[in-house]
Amino acid sequence: MRQVVILVEGQTEEKLVNEVLSPAASMRGTYVTPVVVTTSATPTGAHHGGGHWKHYHAKLQSLLKASHWERVGLLLDYYQYPKGAPKREVATPSGSLDSVGRQSALMTALRAEYPDPRFRPLVVLHEIEALVLAAIDAGRGDGLLPRQGLAELRQAITRAGGPERVNDGPSTAPSKRLEAADPGYMKTVVGPQLVSEAGLPAVLERCPTFRAWWEDLLA
């Protein structure tokens, strides 16, 4: 089987890869492995996600040096794009580029920084939780999230024009909306469960930039 690795920010992404993406890839003759970046280490254990780009850079360099990986993927949230990452200044709002334009500029910068032809980065609009919103848009969530919260999330998706269009911000990012819909929301448990229940095809149908990245990763 072809071997593909995806560098991810945290446990939510790791579970999504293991529980949803990897089984789908295996059906296409590809073995997908997630690797979680460690951004700091404390006496209580390793911390993942956030942090400075230097941690991602070191891990990417290590993965790209390993010749057995046919593809090296990278998943980063557009919201809270890491400090020190290529073209981070582009990730801030401006009058000349919308979020889709800035996403494209960031991914172009990442590919230029790491020109290895196996490298496949994706800056996820606007967070990996967009996949969870896609699952909710596909009709999942009953019994897992409050009815009123589900209704509000579906309205937000419709207003935005799709899960990937639900915007970034201190209170409007996908993860923040999920927490508002259900204060007890457990992102590393409920999120992957919803995506798994909806099925990858239904989620990809609603997340075109993620779908394009995924198909390119497996090509």
User: Do 122 and 134 fall within a single domain?
Assistant: no
User: Do 7 and 86 fall within a single domain?
Assistant: yes
Residue type at 148?
Q
Give how far Cα 163 sits from Cα of 12, 153, 168, Å: 17, 10, 12
User: Do 88 and 161 fall within a single domain?
Assistant: no
State the residue range of the domain holding 26.
2-128+206-218
- Helices 130-137 and 147-160 meet at what angle, rounded to 10? 100
Task: Provide the 10 A C-beta neighbour count for residue 177.
Answer: 23
User: Do 63 and 28 fall within a single domain?
Assistant: yes
pLDDT of residue 178: 97
One digit per residue, the tens of pLDDT, for the chain of length 219 reads: 999 999 999 999 999 999 999 999 999 999 999 999 987 554 444 555 668 999 999 999 999 999 999 999 999 999 889 999 999 887 665 555 688 889 999 999 999 999 999 999 999 999 999 999 999 999 999 999 999 999 999 999 999 999 999 987 878 999 999 999 999 999 999 999 999 999 999 999 999 999 999 999 999
pLDDT of residue 29: 97
User: Do 101 and 89 fall within a single domain?
Assistant: yes
User: Do 113 and 30 fall within a single domain?
Assistant: yes
The C-alpha atoms of residue 187 and residue 183 are separated, in whole angstroms, by 11
User: Do 66 and 168 fall within a single domain?
Assistant: no
pLDDT of residue 99: 86
The C-alpha atoms of residue 140 and residue 133 are separated, in whole angstroms, by 9
CATH code for the domain of 110: 3.40.50
User: Do 23 and 114 fall within a single domain?
Assistant: yes
Going 124 to 130 to 131 to 137, the CA torsion angle's sign is negative
Q: Is the pTM of this model over 0.75?
A: yes
What is the three-state SS of the chain? CEEEEEEECCHHHHHHHHHHHHHHHHCCCEEEEEEECEEEEECCEEEECCCEHHHHHHHHHHHHHCCCCCEEEEEEECCCCCECCCCHHHHCCCCCCCHHHHHHHHHHHHHHHCCCCCEEEEEECCCCCHHHHHHHHCCCCECCECHHHHHHHHHHHHHHCCHHHCCCCCCCCHHHHHHHHCCCCCCCCHHHHHHHHHCHHHHHHHCHHHHHHHHHHHC
pLDDT of residue 1: 92
User: Do 98 and 73 fall within a single domain?
Assistant: yes
User: Do 92 and 66 fall within a single domain?
Assistant: yes
pLDDT of residue 89: 81
Residue 59: exposure state from Cβ atoms within 10 A (0-12, 13-18, ≥19): middle
Between strands 45-48 and 38-42, the pairing is antiparallel
User: Do 184 and 211 fall within a single domain?
Assistant: no
User: Do 52 and 97 fall within a single domain?
Assistant: yes
pLDDT of residue 46: 53
pLDDT of residue 103: 92
